[in-house]
Amino acid sequence: MGDAVTELSSSKMFGGYNKRYKHYSNTLGCSMNFHIYFPPSPSPSPSDSLDSKNKVLFPVLYWLSGLTCTDENFIFKSGAQRAASQQGVALIVPDTSPRGLNIDGEADSWDFGLGAGFYLNATQEKWKNWRMYDYVVKELPKLLSDNFPQLDTSKASIFGHSMGGHGALTIYLKNLDKYKSVSAFAPIANPTNCPWGQKAFTNYLCGNKSDWEEYDATHLVKKYPNVSTTILIDQGEDDKFLSDQLLPHKFEEACKNGNVPLSLRFQPGYDHSYNFIATFIDDHIQHHAQALRLN
């Protein structure tokens, strides 16, 4: 283990381990926590990626959480570890924003500031440390590669929920060379046209709408249409944020226009909660495990 990372906790689950770590982020200018779920180590097969000691290297699946969440919500509530254990995939769960910087106004509202990094690089001076895009795409993968030899960070996929679904889609579309697949639960699919996105983008990115579009999946899918693996999205039909905040039909229309493969599944009776996520999480883990094996 490298000096940069400190283990905070460890608990066994489905034969593997939930482990929480702390490190100082040069990108964000503060200490950050993240979780890894390590599945149990199987006997190697001819198709497995192996290290120098012929141990199986686990592909990684990044989970990006939604507004108000930390690195703990998904680990405690999703039940994803069972399927990750079965599929031999490591789950990587970062926090949702910088912490401990004590920026004036960072905790004034639940949908902006703390717990609401929106997985972008802020351009406003006040929020210059809010660089969750670079943290997820650049710093965290390098940290994992340098400190966890059991992980194969060259085989990676990404998924998330709500704000994290927005983050997963935008990060994937802008980095098709880095991720094998993407999926989302109730993503903020067209943030330039919804109150959550407009509030975040106005404050983090100022008024330049072209900057906004760089973090809007509905715009990006037109710009980066070379997607070969089907994008999977689950959306609860009883989600109270569906019509005014999430706008999945806008993303669906953009995918159709760009011939981008999309499986958008509307689930009757389901809302925006982790009950919804836990119900369909196995499908998403399987979706990514298949892509990680094939690519």
| Catalytic residue, candidates 166, 219, 272, 284 | 272
| Catalytic residue, candidates 219, 234, 239, 287 | 239
| Catalytic residue, candidates 97, 162, 181, 183 | 162
Helix, strand, coil shares, percent, the chain, to 5: 35, 25, 40
* 239 part of the active site: yes
Q: Which of 281, 288, 286 is nearest to 80 (CA)?
A: 281
Cβ of 58: how many Cβ atoms within 10 Å? 28
Look up tokens 């993407």; give the residue.
182
Look up tokens 């001819």; give the residue.
46
* 219 part of the active site: no
Which residues pair with residue 251 across a beta bridge? Answer: none
Cβ of 223: how many Cβ atoms within 10 Å? 12
DSSP assignment of 211-277: HHHTT-HHHHHHH-----SPEEEEEETT-TTIIIII-HHHHHHHHHHTT--EEEEEETT--SSHHHH
Q: Which of 47, 48, 24, 45 is nearest to 34 (CA)?
A: 24
Annotated catalytic residues are: 162, 239, 272
